[in-house]
């Protein structure tokens, strides 16, 4: 069987075949690098955005990210956490999603500057009670709530709030907190 001539191949393909033939060691090195990147992609979970979380999703992170959390309270954070690592809840993680809540209000309504934090706290506290099995007040657990900033509210009509349960004062935990009742 004869190999096709680089001249009989279409333009870009002919250039690639010519480069491979001219530089076999470089081609091998690039193939090894690409294979390594493919393997890394398979063993490293993809980065996520909390706005894509569903109830029960767990996320890795530094315990420093929850240092402002206080047991029995909602810690509200403007904006959203992106580029965080979604992991199985059986693996060490910092946050577990209570799901996304939607703030009340009609499209085009003005940003509730004075009320946004209490609205966010209310919707996440309700999700907490449903997920954990007891009210947030008096719990040893806490909630981190990411909510839309004014620009996203006004230009993108963003109303979603990401509610995430955490164990303040602890490092990463393993297992789900669903039904923990504590």
| 82 plus 161 within the same structural domain | yes
Position 38 scores a pLDDT of 54
As a whole number, the mean pLDDT across the chain is 84
2 vs 146 pLDDT, higher one: 146
The 3-state secondary structure of 90-156 reads CCCECEEEEEEEECCCCCCCCCCCCCHHHHHHHHHHHHHHHHHCCCCCCCCCEEEEEECCHHHHHHH
26 lies in some domain: yes
Pairing of strands 47-49, 58-59: unpaired
Q: What is the pTM of this model?
A: 0.73
Query: Residues 65, 142: contact at Cβ < 8 Å?
Result: no
Instruction: Please check whether residues 22 and 58 belong to one and the same domain.
Output: no
Residue 30 lies in domain: 6-43
Is 179 part of a structural domain of the chain? no
- Output the pLDDT for position 114: 94
Residue 34 domain flag = yes
Between β-strands 142-147 and 74-78, what pairing exists: parallel, antiparallel or unpaired? parallel
The larger pLDDT score, comparing residue 103 to residue 33, is at 103
Q: Would residue 182 count as lying in a domain? A: no
């Amino acid at each position: 069987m004869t190999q096709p001539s680089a001249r009989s191949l279409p333009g870009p393909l002919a250039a690639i075949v010519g480069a491979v033939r001219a530089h076999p060691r470089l081609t091998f090195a690039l193939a090894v690098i690409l294979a390594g990147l493919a393997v890394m992609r398979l063993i490293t979970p993809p980065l996520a955005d909390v706005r894509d979380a569903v109830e029960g999703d767990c996320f890795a992170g530094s315990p420093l990210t929850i240092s402002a959390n206080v047991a029995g309270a909602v810690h509200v954070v403007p904006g959203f956490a992106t580029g965080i690592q979604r992991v199985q809840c059986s693996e060490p993680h910092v946050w577990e999603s209570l799901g996304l809540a939607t703030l009340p209000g009609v499209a085009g309504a003005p940003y509730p500057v004075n009320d946004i934090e209490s609205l966010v706290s209310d919707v996440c506290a309700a999700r907490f009670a449903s997920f954990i099995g007891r009210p947030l007040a008096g719990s040893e657990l806490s909630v981190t709530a990411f909510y839309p900033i004014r620009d996203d509210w006004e230009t993108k009509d963003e109303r979603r709030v990401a509610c995430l349960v955490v164990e303040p004062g602890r490092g990463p935990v393993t297992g789900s907190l669903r039904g923990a009742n504590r």
